[in-house]
Structure 1
């Protein structure tokens, strides 16, 4: 810490040091200005990222590239309008159709018997199995989860890379359904109905050709059984020769293969059956356990112990729901026998059927789905047309309506022109080289309006002739230019040279007539052909913007998947690394300047002390000579 002395000599030392440091601070001010310009540039890239993302995603992809955006055909239905829905595609052949439906298509579906209401899709498979994982020891939980619930659908086994089942006690019903639906090879769609508690697995292929073959490997836990009410819980058995006078402690000793620890606390086996609680000491005999279950009111089950096996059966085929720590208790009897498919009719399969449809008196063959396309019209079958006993067909006519396609093209041109105008204004913006970012000291001497005006000029021209923006403009212009002959043929051209590639409709009547006469031409031109969708103007421009967003992200660290102007920057981008370098250099320079400033003050302090000493000596000498 430097002691700053001021005033002995009558000199303004602070002002003198400040003046001396001003020259030395010039390089630091230059660094801060360069850093500020780089920060402004990075923010400008983020604004550019937002504009380009919005145009590509919200306009091109979500609006103009949609298959129906350039479709000039329109299907009109009369007659039985509730039985059939019709949507004309661009390939509609304009054939009038009279549609009769006598049977809707169905899919082959496997459905469990169901558990009834009250079981949400967030329920875990362990809960459906009557196992409370929180009641198990770590070893018991690990053993239970390792077993899992194996299932094979249409020959596809749901296992991980290690060969373990994808589904175990921790899996929720919703996760189970999502896993089945995301497996494209299984060719099935699963759903769960919280109203009935039924799990359904349907073929993705509709009609009679669809199949749903669900298998559970022998000896494993049946997944489907979890969605059906258990009427019997049968154990594997404690062993031949085990009699009912054995205690639960005896069974535990047989399992462990050793004597229990005499110092251990008294062991209890607690669980629930149909909501009723049971708790038995380890010293309880099997016979007493059976008696307690059979005599407890409102349990509605019958327990029996025969040939070493404990069996709990629902009265009058009623349900047996065991929960709590039942897994530990049943483990004394070597666990419950897996609920075998078919043994208790846990599922039913409905075979899919083809739809029966007649169009213009001709029966249509192999209609496996209620949605199909014929004569370029997509028909959606909603109901039979003879529900009243008399067939009332649906009449379908195709009309040409170019207005929607015309609005799509106009909308694209408006958005495209606005984009290239904004980009051109960036690369052609005037750069004021004499206007540098203001320092805090400079701002103190200026009015707010002057600061704003100065800063506006300092920010101007940051993207003057920017390589990324000019490259994008060139590629977009190229995508238009190579299609210019086809565009001219339908009444679209570019503006004059000064308009930098602006698209204009030279003849709207010509464009409208072209859309009516050959709608596929516009689709191929803008959206690409069926065999080469990337050849369309929309896709080419979208791809150019995607590559540009990648370059902006690499350079400025912007989020290329968002148009959020407040999104954070990635530090490992080119500009991010440059800013780190600036911060490091500025910190080092500030430390060095502080050292220089302290040295100046030390020097002035020494000078002040010397002058003070000289003054004292002079006064003393004058006094001794009698001159004072």
Structure 2
């Protein structure tokens, strides 16, 4: 850095003079910085809008576009402690009568004798005679599946074998320390029955396959059929019941018929009735929440495009903030950040599309349906900018009468917009708007500015700032060089003056 001489000869406050000169020259730089700050605010406000659009789109997808929202039903049973019924995916109401003769049961087996001597431990190494064997067991679909239990000489213990069986096979194994025996239970209920022959043949639901010496340490029969005959096991059993006059069976006590799930709990040989009806309160709640969130969204969007823009309130520079209190800065920024999205074309467009989607009928006349038929209409107060109101009584009636028609109003598919449901039109409008906003303001995860419009503008401001700061540094250096030269010249003149004065004094 060049030597700077500050007013030593001239007596002038050159440092203050340079500072004031540079302050004047920095005004264009401050304007660039202010433009950059305003652009950052605008970018952030766009991204906030994008989050709001995304949240509402997700709500629409997760509720109004899911048939499960509209097929919720309340189911009554004359004996809910014996038989419970719930809807899974039935779109129509259902009713029936059921008489339970037998519940489904899982096959079991137990060790015939103690598997360990009283002084032995589950973690003791298995005898050398133990070797690999296979467990065959009933599967969820009523077929058999096999699992190979591997015995490693010098490593496998009773505990490791039981852990392996429990984790990987279709059987649960439990060691009872009181009796010293192991109880085996099939993970799936039901029996193995071949109905393709007459009379039907029955198999075993649990079977140990291999040389009996390999699994002799378990002290079990070869299968649960033999064990049942010898009093150390039971056969698996299907649930047997009569449904609307038809006697039938199921492998499990819980099963589905025509889109609803039946769970058998007691076998009591009595007729149990059940029926369903739309869960009006639940469906009403979903529709009401959707409408409420729609109203919040359009209120927020309208606020954004109608917000006052205060042109006289530019972003504060760091120098300006130094002379203001925190409260003054806060109040200034409230006006400076206002109106960043005023009259924005993207937001105006999506608002128009959303209103159109909500107000247009779905389907072709005379079979078309609209929100007004459900009691959902646009507010007559123009100041509310298209908010929706709900006639709850009318909406309840529509849901109770035909919840599937309500679903179709929101989620119907089709090739044209007029055939598509309201929620499908909305999500399309929201997705288009989000793409446009992302192209202009980027996404939350954007790390490179040159991928979106405002990002490229911010990069441009950064380049301008850098170039301007370089110019200011050069300019400040030039001012100091000039003032330093002036000081040196004055100092030299003063020295000469002093010298001449001394000369004249000597001559006299």
TM-score (norm 2): 0.69
Q: Trace 1:538-553 onto structure 2 (pairs within 5 A).
A: 538-553=423-438
Q: What is the aligned partner in structure 2 of residue 586 from structure 1?
A: 465
Question: SS in structure 1 opposite 2:145?
Answer: strand
Q: Trace 1:346-361 onto structure 2 (pairs within 5 A).
A: 357-361=241-245
Aligned pair 1:439/2:317, yes or no?
yes
Q: Which residues of structure 2 form unaligned runs of 5+?
A: 106-139, 151-157, 176-183, 196-207, 219-235, 363-368
Number of residue equivalences = 413
- Structure 1 distance, partners of 2:162, 2:30, is 65
- Structure 2 distance, partners of 1:18, 1:119, is 86
The 1:437–1:191 alpha-carbon spacing in structure 2 relative to 1, beyond 3 Å, is farther
Q: What is the aligned partner in structure 2 of residue 527 from structure 1?
A: 411
Q: What is the aligned partner in structure 2 of residue 379 from structure 1?
A: 261
- Structure 1 distance, partners of 2:435, 2:458, is 20
Q: What is the aligned partner in structure 2 of residue 111 from structure 1?
A: 146
Question: SS in structure 2 opposite 1:437?
Answer: coil
Q: What is the aligned partner in structure 1 of residue 329 from structure 2?
A: 451
Q: Trace 1:88-127 onto structure 2 (pairs within 5 A).
A: 91-98=91-98, 100=100, 102=102, 106-107=140-141, 108-114=143-149, 118=160
- Structure 1 distance, partners of 2:388, 2:162, is 56
Q: What is the aligned partner in structure 1 of residue 480 from structure 2?
A: 601
- Structure 2 distance, partners of 1:510, 1:605, is 88
- Structure 1 distance, partners of 2:273, 2:490, is 113
Q: What is the aligned partner in structure 2 of residue 37 from structure 1?
A: 38
What's the CA shift for 1:599?
0.8
Q: What are the superposed Cα offsets for residues 536-579 of structure 1, whole Å, 9 maximum, x if unpaired?
A: 323332343334333333333324xxxxxxxx433243133333
- Structure 2 distance, partners of 1:194, 1:45, is 60
Q: What is the aligned partner in structure 1 of residue 4 from structure 2?
A: 4
Equivalent in 396, 399, 405 of residue 515 of structure 1: 399
Q: What are the superposed Cα offsets for residues 173-218 of structure 1, whole Å, 9 maximum, x if unpaired?
A: x9xx9xxxxxxxxxxxx9998989x9x999xxxx999xxxxxxxxx
The 1:365–1:195 alpha-carbon spacing in structure 2 relative to 1, beyond 3 Å, is closer
Q: What are the superposed Cα offsets for residues 207-233 of structure 1, whole Å, 9 maximum, x if unpaired?
A: 999xxxxxxxxxxxxxxxxxx9999xx
What's the CA shift for 1:32?
0.9
- Structure 1 distance, partners of 2:415, 2:70, is 18
The 1:605–1:194 alpha-carbon spacing in structure 2 relative to 1, beyond 3 Å, is farther
Aligned pair 1:570/2:459, yes or no?
no
What's the CA shift for 1:416?
1.0
Q: What is the aligned partner in structure 2 of residue 76 from structure 1?
A: 76
- Structure 1 distance, partners of 2:161, 2:459, is 55
Question: SS in structure 2 opposite 1:477?
Answer: helix
Q: Trace 1:372-411 onto structure 2 (pairs within 5 A).
A: 372-374=256-258, 378-383=260-265, 386=267, 390-411=268-289
The 1:558–1:103 alpha-carbon spacing in structure 2 relative to 1, beyond 3 Å, is same
- Structure 1 distance, partners of 2:145, 2:321, is 76
Question: SS in structure 2 opposite 1:463?
Answer: coil
For the Cα contact (< 8 Å) 1:81–1:394, is it kept in 2? no
- Structure 2 distance, partners of 1:230, 1:600, is 100
Q: Trace 1:414-429 onto structure 2 (pairs within 5 A).
A: 414-429=292-307
Q: What are the superposed Cα offsets for residues 486-535 of structure 1, whole Å, 9 maximum, x if unpaired?
A: 21122211013332221112x33222222222222212112336999993
- Structure 1 distance, partners of 2:415, 2:170, is 35
State which drifts further: 32-41 or 612-621: 32-41
- Structure 1 distance, partners of 2:394, 2:373, is 8
RMSD across aligned C-alpha pairs, in angstroms?
Answer: 4.4
Q: What are the superposed Cα offsets for residues 301-333 of structure 1, whole Å, 9 maximum, x if unpaired?
A: xxxxxxxxxxxx98x8789xxxxxxxxxxxxxx
- Structure 1 distance, partners of 2:455, 2:495, is 60
- Structure 2 distance, partners of 1:194, 1:317, is 16
Q: Which residues of structure 1 form unaligned runs of 5+?
A: 124-173, 178-189, 210-227, 232-312, 320-351, 560-567
Question: SS in structure 1 opposite 2:342?
Answer: coil
The 1:318–1:102 alpha-carbon spacing in structure 2 relative to 1, beyond 3 Å, is closer
The 1:47–1:193 alpha-carbon spacing in structure 2 relative to 1, beyond 3 Å, is farther
- Structure 2 distance, partners of 1:431, 1:42, is 16
Question: SS in structure 2 opposite 1:79?
Answer: coil
